[in-house]
Structure 1
Amino acid sequence: MDNLDTGILTLLRKNARAGYGDIGDVIGLSASAVKRRVDRLVADGVIRGFTIQVDPAVDGLGTEAYVELFCRGTVSPGDLRRMLGEIPEVVGAGTVSGSADAIVHMRSRDITSLEAAIERVRDAPNVDHTRSSIVLSKLIERARD
C-alpha cells in the first residue's frame, strides 16, 4: 500500500460508485491505472467487497440499543459468539474491559420486539444479567468497512 492506494480507498469509502476516471483525476492517475490498483487491492484482500448502506429504519429496524452483558463464571468469546449469533436482532458484539463481559449492539422494529430479543439474551446459559441503553438519537455514525 502506498499513498495512491490510500487515496483510492479514501475516495471509494466516500463513494463506492466513483468512476476510475474520476478517482484518477483526483489522485493523478489514468483510469486504467486506477482500475489495475483496485483489482490488486481486491485480489490482496484489502478491499473485501463493494456494498451499499441502507438506513435500518427502511428495513423496519428503527429501534436500537446497546446492551451490556454480564456472565456467571468464565465464558469464552467463542461461546458468546455462538450464543449471540443465534439472535437476529444482534447486529454487533464484542468483549470489553470493565465490569461487563461483552457489549451487544441490537436493532429491532420496536420496543416490544427489542425487549423480547433482550430476554433471549438473558435466558442464555451463563448470562447473569444485562444493562440496556436504548438509542434516542444518533449523533455521529461513520461507516468503516
Structure 2
Amino acid sequence: MDDIDHEILTILEANARTPVADIARQVRLSAAPVSRRIERLERSGVIKRYVTIVDRGLSGQLDAFTEIRLSGAMDTAELSDIIRKVPEVRQFFTIAGDPDALVRIRVSDVDHLQRVVNTMRRTGKVTGTKTLIVMHSWDRDAGDVS
C-alpha cells in the first residue's frame, strides 16, 4: 500500500458511496487506476465490506453494552460460541481485567434488552453482568449518530 491507497481509504471511510470520479479527482489520478486500486484493496481484504451508519435515535432501536463475568471453568472461545448465537449482539470483545468480556447489543426496547441479557445469563457460564444503555453516541468517522 502506498500513500494514494491510504488517501483512497480515508475518502471511502468518510463516505463509502463517494463516486470513483470524485476520488480520482481528490487523489489526482484518472478513474480507471483508482477503480483498479479499490478492487485490489477489496480482493486483498483491506476493505472488508461497506456499511451504512444508521441514526439509532431515528430508527427506534436501542444500543447497550453489557459487561460479562465468566465462571472460572469457561474460556472466552466457549463464550464466543454462545454469543454468536444471540442475533442482537453486534460486537463481542474479550478484555483484560474485570469484566472478562464486553458485548454491544442492539434491541428494539428495554424489555427486549432484558430478554437478551437473561438469555446470556441462563447459559450457566455467566456469573455476572452489568448493562449500560447508550443515550447518545458519536463516531469519529460518522459524526453524531444518535
Which range, TM-score by smaller chain? Answer: 0.7 to 0.9
Q: How does 1:20-31 map to 2 (within 5 A)?
A: 20-31=20-31
Q: Distance in 2 between matches of 1:124 and 1:142?
A: 36
Does 2:7 correspond to 1:12?
no
Q: Distance in 2 between matches of 1:75 and 1:59?
A: 36
Q: Distance in 1 between matches of 2:97 and 2:111?
A: 29
CA contact (8 A) 2:14 2:141 kept: no
Q: Distance in 1 between matches of 2:42 and 2:82?
A: 32
Query: Aligned partner of 1:36: which letter?
Result: R
1:52 alignment partner, SS class? coil
In the TM superposition, residue 77 of structure 1 has moved relative to its aligned partner by: 2.2
In the TM superposition, residue 56 of structure 1 has moved relative to its aligned partner by: 4.2
Q: Distance in 2 between matches of 1:53 and 1:7?
A: 21
Moved over 6 A (4+): none
Match of 1:40 in 2: 40
Match of 2:114 in 1: 115
Query: Aligned partner of 1:38: which letter?
Result: I
Gaps of 5+ in 2: none
Q: Distance in 1 between matches of 2:109 and 2:127?
A: 25
Aligned CA-pair RMSD: 1.9
Query: CA-to-partner distance for each residue in 1:38-81, whole Å, 9 max, x for gaps?
Result: 12112222122333333345664x22211110111142222111
TM value normalised by structure 2: 0.87
Q: How does 1:1-145 map to 2 (within 5 A)?
A: 1-56=1-56, 60=60, 62-138=61-137, 140-143=138-141
Q: Distance in 1 between matches of 2:14 and 2:42?
A: 17
Aligned residues: 142
Q: Distance in 2 between matches of 1:50 and 1:137?
A: 23
TM value normalised by structure 1: 0.87
Q: Distance in 2 between matches of 1:33 and 1:100?
A: 48
